[in-house]
Amino acid sequence: MAHILIASARPDALAGFIAALAQAGSRVDIAPSAKAAQEAVRHEPPALCLVDGDLPDMKALGLVSRLIEINACVTSAVVSPLSDAAFHEAGEGLGILLRLPPHPGPAEAQTLLAALAAIA
């Protein structure tokens, strides 16, 4: 069972995605801010932290960078409206597993879990 932390100020908009992760056997925790996500990673590092776009207190890529400083073993993924090419350029060097579209659903949850399993 993978432990996935979702840093999102809009968990209701991700309900289908979150349900699909849980249905696949993942333990999903929600952090409503970058500060809460950082505290969660310090307390109990997840297998993956999904950053849902820019949070109220920090931009997504800034949070990924901070999470690496806290625990470089925590894998990250980011929900972003950027194209794959633009996202790759913006996030280069951060080791982000993958970019998900702005409204991920069950299919994207399966894609994320497969990518996570591939590196485990």
* CATH number of the CATH domain containing 89: 3.40.50.2300
pLDDT digits 0-9 by tens, 51-76: 998 899 999 999 999 999 999 999 99
Q: How far is CA 103 from CA 33, 46, 67, 99, in A?
A: 18, 22, 23, 12
DSSP 59-119: -HHHHHHHHHHH-TT-EEEEE-SS-HHHHHHHHTTS----EE-SS--HHHHHHHHHHHHHH
Hunting for tokens 């996500």 — which residue is that? Answer: 37
Query: What residues of the chain score a pLDDT lower than 50?
Result: none
Q: What is the pTM of this model?
A: 0.95
pLDDT (0 to 100) of residue 99: 96
Residue 62 belongs to domain spanning: 3-119
pLDDT (0 to 100) of residue 48: 97
Domain count, the chain: 1
